[in-house]
Amino acid sequence: MRPIACSQFCRLVLLGLFLLLAGRGHGEEPFAFARTPGKLPKAVVPVEYAVSLVPDLERGTFRGTVRVTLDVREAVPALVLNAVGLEITGSTLDGEAGALGRPVLDAGQQTLTLPLTVALAPGVRKLSIDFAGQLREQPEGIYLVRYKKDGQERRGLATQFEPADARRMFPCWDEPVFRAAFTLAVAVPSMTVVVSNMPVASTTDGAGGTKIVTFQKTPPMPTYLLALFAGDLEKIEDEVDGVKLALFTTPGKKEQGRYALEVTKEVLRDFAEFFGAKYPLPKLDQVALPNTGAGGMENWGAIVYLESALLFDPATSSQAQREHVYGIVAHEIAHQWFGNLVTMAWWDNLWLNEGFASWMATKQMARRHPEWKPWLRAAAGREAAMRLDARATTHPIQQVVKTESQASDVFDEITYQKGQAVIRMIEDWLGEETFRNGVRRYVQKHALSNTTTADLWDALARESGQDIRGLAKGWTEQPGFPVIQVTSFPVEDAKRATCWQERFTVQQKDAPPLFWVVPFRHAPAGHPQDAGLLLLKGGNPQGFPVPEEGAVKGNIGGVGFFRVQYQGWLFERLVKALPHLAEADRLNLLNDAWALCQADRGAITDYLKLAETLLATATPTELEQILGVLGHLDRMERDADALTPRAADGTAKQDGSRERFRAWALDFLRPQLDQIGWDAAPAEAPLITRLRPRLLGLAAAFGDTTTLRIARSRFVEYFARPAAFDANLRGTVLAIQGRAADAEMWDLLHALARKTASSEQQRELYGALAAARDPALAARTLALALTSELPPHDAARLVGQVGATEGHAAAAWTFTRENLAALLAKLASHQANEYVPNLFTALPATAERAAELETWAAANLPPGAAPSVAKAADEIRFQADFRRRVLRELGLWLKARPAHATAG
């Protein structure tokens, strides 16, 4: 590690004292309806909706009526609610058409204003609005879903209302603070299966071979949780603790839902115990569809999933899919309490929903499947959040949200993964039982209501007697996180270490200095049971003992959302003590060493020293982290080669650095390749099963001839007996085969992709097509994105997969530029905002490329894309600078090492 300067230490102490004296503010207030943000006036409040809908799937249209019971709390001159993309065909108030003037739709504000001919006095009123709209395939509002039955394409209906798209199906008060009850009725063909939040109340015959399905009234809830699904759906059923369970799929796939249904039974019972409250609805339906607005959406009583995220075939699905299904089901079911029963008041507190659900899902997996080591695997998500949070483009967990587009922007790693990490850190500080009891207090007090983060902190404070808001507000109300500096003066023989905090940043100039209340656990290496706890506040340094001749580890278990940087001799002691550290602490050291290198606070050689010391005894989670870094370094070498000026004959002038790096990496990984091999051992640990395909995939990408030869033979086995092939290796073998494909092999893979009934295998096979290195085959794969053979989101995603294949990023960008409207039409608005910026990050990173993105986006993308553009441009500039810094140092390090063979 790079040494810490004493002058820097002194400056930080003085700055910390200044900030403590200056004070830090009071933070957020508990929920109050009147002061909740939002566009809509709060003088008129919906109490109950009755929505009648008549969709026409053949024409791609719908019409309907919404009747709203209103609580008018103040006299108003007009009714203002939300609507977008709708035609208003009629309206009455208390049955009188003359009570309302001409409706005014504002597409920019997404509002509907109904002027009143006479000022409306306080009281209960009945509003009725007739409306009509168009059905599209973009997964927002109410939309069409394509699927197949008996080989023929069919159409169904689905909804995606979060964060603010219920207004696309019917006029409503589409902000989460306006909780109301809903009764939904829909007219559909008589053989159609219909699912909504509540059980069916009645079914009556309609005109022309239709039926009218009416559902029971919901409890009061926000509009974004209302749901409707209709089509040729099959179902399987079960029950747990009196709750009726059903899982719906498109035709021929219901048996792939069995595993998810078993998970549901376990999770529902466990969560009822955790929250101290039974699941609040009479039934819980789950629906798997080929096209949705997210991997999962927690509609109360009618959760919807992307079918590739939910379905599992015990005979042909991988261990990774098994874990993913468990995790996403647990996440969405956690929302049934935290988000649905208790709802954040406004989108600036979305993390109360998503961070908590992510934490609950990981905690549940750790309880029921400790062999998966979910908290160690969750470290990768936390690292992704920390990478974003160290940059100038980050935001607080609780950020200001003013528009619908901004509401979509907060669904990111900061909200989900940082939110989860902060919750875990606070739980670790308070203790599991105290934290759980505080959560129960919070849920019981605020059931069927709204909250802010302050309400959660108050409940935890009452239970624990601790100043939770004092500790937590810095983590949720300001951006970023700290690095804890651990040093000692005099060095080497010191018996006490001194630690203090400063803001950790990457690629930021003149970042404002910020401080947190940091629960800093430390312990002698190998003795976590002797851990001590310091609460670091401001820039004040604190001390703790250093074992004689021993090492000390900070951030025990890697639970804290911060980095730790050790003075040189303390770091050297930790390297020697690695065999005595717990796995979580070794993984935390690896992650911190890599991050310090990115921040230009440490050297790449520090990281490599750790990796080499660990390799012989590395666990799968540690190896996964190392493989990720090796892949990143190779990507930088690839970009450096791509940016190298060409010789007169057009060939690249290469200095051999990438070949040297790959030769060293293969030699470095050889013991693990030999030990893990291609075939699973009896009773093998799930983590090794998941590591194997990634290890083999990297070896093949780096040109290991043995791995490539075996992969080719394994593909022959797969082609002969697809159903019997090892599901854990299938995606890797297909990707390796696809990379080297000729036209004949591409056609074969394409035929297999179109034939398979498994969404998991379909994604793997189309991914193999996207991996083809032949430019002509890349062009054929790109063309598939404009067809209807894939679900819309997967089709658009194919372009990014081609762009990620070496040598094809520029072609993918050209294709996107030429077909932008068609591609974006396949995506929801929030997905569309990220689409082009994400493609740019696949191109070789240069400052000029970042400027190109900014210029092009300003002329061609909507304002809502600006945050995604800023993040991508910042990432591109960082990668260009990081490549320049690290490859020079890496090259010198490699040249000083013995030569290695280039293949196995």
- Which of the residues are catalytic? 332
d(CA 566, CA 483): 10
500-511 b/e with 16+ CB inside 10 Å = b? bbbbbbbbbeeb
* Strand, helix or coil for residue 893: helix
Tokens for 613?
Answer: 């010391």
- Alpha carbons within 13 A on the beta-carbon side of 744: 0
**E strand or H helix at 502, and its extent?**
strand 496-503
- Asked if residue 902 lies in contact with residue 666, where contact means CB atoms within 8 angstroms, the answer is yes
899 closest CA partner among 609, 612, 666: 666
66 closest CA partner among 210, 166, 202: 166
- What is each CA distance from 242 to 278, 282, 300, 321, 448, in whole angstroms? 10, 8, 17, 29, 21
DSSP letter (8 states) at residue 29: P
C-alpha R_g of the chain? 28
The answer to whether the bond into 122 is cis (omega within 30° of 0) is no
Phi, psi dihedral angles at 95 (to 5 degrees): 80, 0
595 closest CA partner among 694, 688, 505: 505
Chain-centre distance for alpha carbon 632: 21
Burial class (CB in 10 A: 0-12, 13-18, 19+), 846: middle
d(CA 645, CA 448): 64
Question: How many other CB atoms are there within 10 angstroms of residue 535's CB atom?
Answer: 12
555-577 b/e with 16+ CB inside 10 Å = b? bbbbbbbbbbbbbebbbebbbeb
- Asked if residue 121 lies in contact with residue 73, where contact means CB atoms within 8 angstroms, the answer is no
Dihedral sign of CA atoms 126, 130, 134, 137 in order = positive
- Alpha carbons within 13 A on the beta-carbon side of 903: 9
- Asked if residue 351 lies in contact with residue 420, where contact means CB atoms within 8 angstroms, the answer is no
Query: Could you tell me the maximum CA-CA distance found in the chain, to the nearest angstrom?
Result: 90
Chain-centre distance for alpha carbon 6: 40
- Asked if residue 875 lies in contact with residue 868, where contact means CB atoms within 8 angstroms, the answer is no
Q: At what angle do helices 809-818 and 792-804 cross, to 10 degrees?
A: 140
Question: How many other CB atoms are there within 10 angstroms of residue 706's CB atom?
Answer: 15
Amino acid type, 481? F
Tokens for 768?
Answer: 């193999």
Span between the terminal Cα atoms of the chain, in Å: 33
Amino acid type, 143? Y
d(CA 139, CA 143): 6
- Asked if residue 351 lies in contact with residue 476, where contact means CB atoms within 8 angstroms, the answer is yes
